[in-house]
Amino acid sequence: MYQSNILVDHIVNFTSQRDKDLLAFSLLKSVNSMMTCTKTKIISINKRGEVLSHISFENNHCVVNEATILIDDVLINTFEQMNESSRDEYTLKTKTGYSVIRLLHHDRKGEQFLVINLHEKIGKVQSYILSGILSIYNNFISLLHESQTDELTGLANRKTFDSAISKVFDNLPQEYDEVDNERRALDKKLIHNKENYWLSIIDIDDFKRVNDEFGHLYGDEILIHLAQIIRSSFRQNDLQFRFGGEEFVVLLNADDKEKCIQILERFRRKVEEYSFPSVDKITVSIGAVEFIRGTFHVTLIDYADQALYRSKKQGKNQITFFEDMVNQGLVKTSDIQGGEVDLF
């Protein structure tokens, strides 16, 4: 029988985490220590069956990969069969043993699966303990999700912004030889150095007038619809936040500034052409700045906010880049002092 004190230690360990990646890694480490596993992994896929993320634990090594990782067709087919039959567990016979597959989470975006590779078929006691661990994990991750999500729109909230942004340009080696490095390892995302990011602040034009004329319930409905447009206009791995009120922040990845302009302009037009309930038409103003390594993110928010103010001042329903303001001599980077912007 698995020792109860060790089991409690594992539960205490992964419920002490406040980051979803760290929580996932702690779960993998706990499962790996409970069983004689050759490998454990958590795979997240979207509704199209494309891999969104892949975290694995093997021989005390944690490996984090992005969507470029290739998943075996047999495994993908098993995921699809589990979805079609509404099964939350499956045991697959392999050439080297067995793969125990458990559904960890599913929502409108996709599913997350735990895959455990074993030499021998899982026993009843191990299966019972595993089910208990996963129930606690699922309950805890639901609480974590609620605390980090804006209740009205379902986007990430302001509370999660600082920790999420701090991950973006941290280098993450693909493999860690020491288990003690878990917090350093999974407190970061796998970011390729050649990727470019832009921080954009989105603000609904004349939103106070909407609330005054139609009431706050209609105002809330507009915020919900705008959040849906944000989700459909940007990729899932572009960080999306509601900062409060009518302001949203998106950190998006694009090859260059021209591509960023295309993405933001497509979003702006989509909002402009959308028929909102009761009020029919609204527009948004956007301020953007390139996310530069070594620049404090609060300063970058200030820069984006200056660009947003310029969009408002120039007639609204447009996009302004802070770099263009600097090139035009409208502002200097030294003119912006950290902490000036109020995003609430």
Of 131, 46, 121, 39, the residue nearest 80 (C-alpha): 46
Q: How far apart are CA 150 and CA 190, in angstroms?
A: 25
Q: How far apart are CA 65 and CA 42, in angstroms?
A: 11
Contact in structure between 249 and 161 (CB atoms under 8 Å): yes
Query: HSE on the CB side for 286, CA within 13 Å?
Result: 25
Contact in structure between 238 and 174 (CB atoms under 8 Å): no
Spot the catalytic one: 111, 246, 247, 290. 246
Cα angle 329, 331, 332 (rounded to 5 degrees) comes to 100
Contact in structure between 193 and 278 (CB atoms under 8 Å): no
Measured in whole angstroms, the distance separating CA 106 from the mean position of its chain's CA atoms is 15
Contact in structure between 43 and 67 (CB atoms under 8 Å): no
State the alpha helices, DSSP H only, in the chain: 4-14, 20-34, 73-85, 124-147, 161-167, 182-186, 207-214, 216-233, 257-273, 297-313, 322-327
- Distances from the Cα of 28 to the Cα of 35, 39, 65, 117, angstroms: 11, 9, 15, 12
Q: How far apart are CA 283 and CA 204, in angstroms?
A: 6
Q: How far apart are CA 339 and CA 48, in angstroms?
A: 42
Please indicate whether residue 89 is annotated as part of the active site: no
Q: How far apart are CA 192 and CA 293, in angstroms?
A: 13
What's the first-to-final CA gap in the chain, in angstroms?
Answer: 54
Residues known to be catalytic = 246
